[in-house]
Structure 1
Amino acid sequence: MERILRVLVVLALVGAAAFWYLTRPIGLDGESVAAIDALTPDVAHGETMFWAGGCASCHAAPGATGDDMLVLSGGDSLASPFGTFYAPNISQDPTHGIGDWSVIDLANALTHGIGPDGTHFYPAFPYTSYVHLERQDIVDLNAFLKTLPADSTPSKAHDVPFPFTIRRGIGLWDRLFLTPDWVMTGDLSPELERGRYLVEGAGHCGECHTPRNAIGGLDRNRWLAGAANPSGEGTVPGLTPDKLDWSAQDIAYYLETGFTPDFDSAGGHMANVVSNMAHLPPEDRAAIAAYIKALPASGS
């Protein structure tokens, strides 16, 4: 019996060590850090990336409008099967926001889902899409964020049950679903490459419009085919050609104005998305539309 107990203890220690190793936070390597540090920021382009990434949609205070959308005090809620997540304060407050973050801290958060202290972020923060962001765009975004106001509102704690409170375990989830691979591949035109970057990367459209599996990973085989609403009410529509018969011009116009070909208008969270996309240059909205029109049928 004593021998069995020793074996069990050894197995438990080996299992714990393996878990600790596999779930460790992995950030930018030294080469990437040096490359980012060498870049010169473009604040004006950083503002474009701010709107393309939808930062204000989640991180502004609920109900904020106008200039208040630039006060990134957080608080917006996202219901999910795993609990309710609250967007944190990402204003320039050094205590309650990210005012003391470096550009490398921001890059690690956006592309690796980890904070300056090595804490894993929950994938309610769409770093699995932001992993596609180019280094220059991150540097520019960081420069623009530094121009925004500070706000001392504390971030609201997430309402998630055990075992999802064990953030270390997200490291295993990341090993399964955090990938820099594109969904749309092949010999793409420059317009389609730009559309892919905006849809799969900065705009993180798949986070809402793609169904997820039992553990919350995106089902890339049904990319943008529509999904259950995380709140449990209704569905998020599909964007594949068997689900959306709009022309490219219809899509681009909708992203600029919020008006559909049927004279309806965007509502709910999509109204915020349209508000963001309206800040982009027309060629970016056209690139998004071209990407959507190039999607294959979902088969579902």
Structure 2
Amino acid sequence: MSLTKKIIFGLLAFGFTGLAVVLLVGLNVEERPKITVAGNAQNGATLLQTAGCYACHTQAESANGVYAGGAALVSPFGNFYAPNITSSKQHGIGDWDIVTFERALRQGVNPNGQSYYPAFPFMSYRSLTDQDVADLFAALQQVEAVEKDHRDHEVGFPFNIRLGLKPWRWLFSTVKPLKIDQTTSVGRGRYLVDAVAHCGECHTPRNSLGAPIPPYLGGADLNGDWAPPITARAFEQMEWTKDDLVYFLEDGMLPDGDFIGSSMVEVIEHGTSNMPFEDREAIADYLFSLVQR
């Protein structure tokens, strides 16, 4: 065998060995100290809106019930359906404890130890504070139980094999939280954009395997629905001011007096419009400080 063939076979063997190791080892989760702070259900109810939980887990114009499962999230890999997160013990999360909830929310791991598909934004939620996690859990415990099973994802081969999520997470995912100082308006805005509202999930481009790639918040094609760049330079080019953005996040009105359409309507109606004015202002401060990263 020639030296070239030996090198090729050696690289292939190394690659398959590495893949086998990744498939056999556990998910890249980070055991955190158990959350001990008491949850505030009232604050959690607001967070359920601003974090997109209502928008994704409640199917509009349906008798399914609030938080009983959402409409399809259409992607190049298939259709994903948000599950029932009501207090139902059989079909929802009524029998979960705070540890199970935290692992699902911030680490993307279900009660069976399997990874959630990254259609669920756990890579953004990884930076949620303990208090916000506790508040969300307290609010969901008070949601009326809906005895309805979740709808299975419609994902074709090979993406329907969850084992393949292990190498994906190994290559692209991290569960280490961002260290975000919320004592300033810009810092608070960063926390809301990067963690709570997970804006980067839609406004950041992705590669052919669905992993986010630079430029962060640089705009992305969502199956024909364009999510524009939302950096300082982009707003400058559109001649938007901070005030324009603050009021847009409240009612969806564009600077020219028209109103936004597409999926952003739901984000505003069930998300950013429920934020306190100071939080919308903080988002504007952060995004206008963000040149590119």
**TM class by smaller structure:** 0.7 to 0.9
In structure 2, C-alpha distance between the alignment counterparts of 1:16 and 1:297, rounded to whole Å: 34
- What letter is aligned with 1:20? L
Q: 1:235 aligns with which of 214, 226, 244?
A: 226
| TM-score, normalised relative to structure 2 | 0.86
Relative distance call for 1:249 and 1:155 in structure 2 (3 A) is same
Q: Which runs of 5+ in 2 are unaligned?
A: 1-12
1:258 corresponds in structure 2 to 252
Relative distance call for 1:235 and 1:16 in structure 2 (3 A) is closer
- TM-superposition CA deviations, 1:200-225 (whole Å, max 9, x none): 10100000011001211111x31111
Please tell me whether residue 56 in structure 1 is matched to residue 54 in structure 2.
yes
2:265 corresponds in structure 1 to 271
In structure 2, C-alpha distance between the alignment counterparts of 1:246 and 1:177, rounded to whole Å: 33
- TM-superposition CA deviations, 1:53-101 (whole Å, max 9, x none): 110111002335xxx8971111311111111111111111111111111
- What letter is aligned with 1:177? F
Q: 1:248 aligns with which of 242, 256, 261?
A: 242
1:77 corresponds in structure 2 to 72
1:20 corresponds in structure 2 to 23
Relative distance call for 1:81 and 1:227 in structure 2 (3 A) is same
Please tell me whether residue 142 in structure 1 is matched to residue 113 in structure 2.
no
1:45 corresponds in structure 2 to 43
- TM-superposition CA deviations, 1:110-135 (whole Å, max 9, x none): 11101111111000001011011011
Q: 1:208 aligns with which of 202, 207, 211?
A: 202
- TM-superposition CA deviations, 1:222-273 (whole Å, max 9, x none): 11111011xx224211112333231111111011111111111122221111
**Deviation, structure 1 residue 26:** 4.5
Q: 1:225 aligns with which of 213, 218, 222?
A: 218
Q: 1:109 aligns with which of 95, 104, 121?
A: 104
- TM-superposition CA deviations, 1:160-196 (whole Å, max 9, x none): 11111111221222223323365x99x9971111111
- What letter is aligned with 1:121? Y
Q: Which runs of 5+ in 1 are unaligned?
A: 1-9
Relative distance call for 1:132 and 1:150 in structure 2 (3 A) is same
Q: How many residues align?
A: 276
1:88 corresponds in structure 2 to 83
Q: Is the 8 A contact 2:251 2:268 kept in 1?
A: yes
Q: Is the 8 A contact 2:39 2:131 kept in 1?
A: yes
SS in 2 for 1:84: strand
Taking only aligned residues, the RMSD between alpha carbons, in angstroms, comes to 2.6
In structure 2, C-alpha distance between the alignment counterparts of 1:140 and 1:287, rounded to whole Å: 21
In structure 2, C-alpha distance between the alignment counterparts of 1:262 and 1:279, rounded to whole Å: 23
In structure 2, C-alpha distance between the alignment counterparts of 1:205 and 1:69, rounded to whole Å: 27
Q: Is the 8 A contact 1:111 1:127 kept in 2?
A: yes
Q: Is the 8 A contact 1:53 1:202 kept in 2?
A: yes
Choose 170-179 or 131-140, whichever is displaced more.
170-179
In structure 1, C-alpha distance between the alignment counterparts of 2:81 and 2:226, rounded to whole Å: 21
- What letter is aligned with 2:23? W
In structure 2, C-alpha distance between the alignment counterparts of 1:101 and 1:189, rounded to whole Å: 32
**Deviation, structure 1 residue 42:** 1.5
